[in-house]
Amino acid sequence: MIKLVYFDFNFWRFDILRLSLAYSNIPFECERVKRQDWPNVKQDFPFGQLPIMIFNNKKYAHTHSIARFCAIKSNLYSNNELEAIVIDQVLDWSNEITNKIAPSIRAAMREKNLDKSKKLRKEFIDNDLLTWFSYLEKLFNRSSSGKIFFNDKFSIADITAWRMILWFCSGKLEQVDKEFIKEFPLLENFFKKMNDHKPFINLNLYKEIIA
């Protein structure tokens, strides 16, 4: 049985793994680590970070690596290397934009320095938000022939891009105007179509994540 371990809040790094397995009815279990317990247990994890996956009593780390494993198990990866590289780019894009916004999140959550967080968030919005979403829109345009999914076939790239757009358009990220996605009509349309994709939206997990 696959076990996924993450903090006790929902975030794309964990959700894409769960959604991928759930989509294909692959059994898995989840373990949550409380934020306050983290300093005491951090050293027990291979790279001192979450998420991790435990499979056959071994621990595996890094979102992209685990996502690839889960997607292969779920038949949501691709045997075609040119489709696989599209999926990999969406996962890498997600890591990159997360690394860009992370300092402003860290300043607020860990350092409790709201002025610093505000300044860093403004820098992210001025320098990175639209630039990085334009990269994703261009990738979608290049890769998607039917303009529905990133590849012709539904894959973990779609789950990941959907989860990232949900995050950035949640209205929960201070100073990020959730309407910014309107500047990216292909992505906006992709997001709408994902929210109509019955096998995806019928998952209990989908309902839990959007709640």
**Interface residue list for ligand GSH (CB under 6 A):** 11, 13, 42, 48-51, 62-64, 95
Residues 6+ apart with CB under 8 A from 192: none
Please state, in angstroms and rounded to a whole number, the distance separating the CA atoms of residues 195 and 207: 11
Q: How far is the CB of 21 from ligand GSH (least distance, A)?
A: 17
φ, ψ dihedrals at 14, nearest 5°: -95, -40
Q: How far is the CB of 197 from ligand GSH (least distance, A)?
A: 26
Tokens representing 90 are: 């969406």
**For residue 90, which amino acid is it?**
V
Residue closer to ligand GSH, measured from CB, 13 or 154? 13
Q: How far is the CB of 69 from ligand GSH (least distance, A)?
A: 13
Reference 50, options 99, 104, 103, 7; nearest CA is: 7
Residue closer to ligand GSH, measured from CB, 52 or 184? 52
Residue closer to ligand GSH, measured from CB, 69 or 149? 69
The answer to whether the CB of 74 falls within 8 A of the CB of 27 is no
Please state, in angstroms and rounded to a whole number, the distance separating the CA atoms of residues 6 and 4: 7
Tell me which DSSP letter residue 103 carries. H
Residue closer to ligand GSH, measured from CB, 51 or 104? 51
Q: Please report, for residues 82, 88, 139, the alpha-carbon distance to residue 79 in angstroms, rounded to integers and kept in the order given.
A: 9, 13, 19
Residue closer to ligand GSH, measured from CB, 95 or 195? 95
Q: How far is the CB of 60 from ligand GSH (least distance, A)?
A: 10
**For residue 140, which amino acid is it?**
F
Q: How far is the CB of 182 from ligand GSH (least distance, A)?
A: 28
**Nearest-CB residue to ligand GSH?**
49
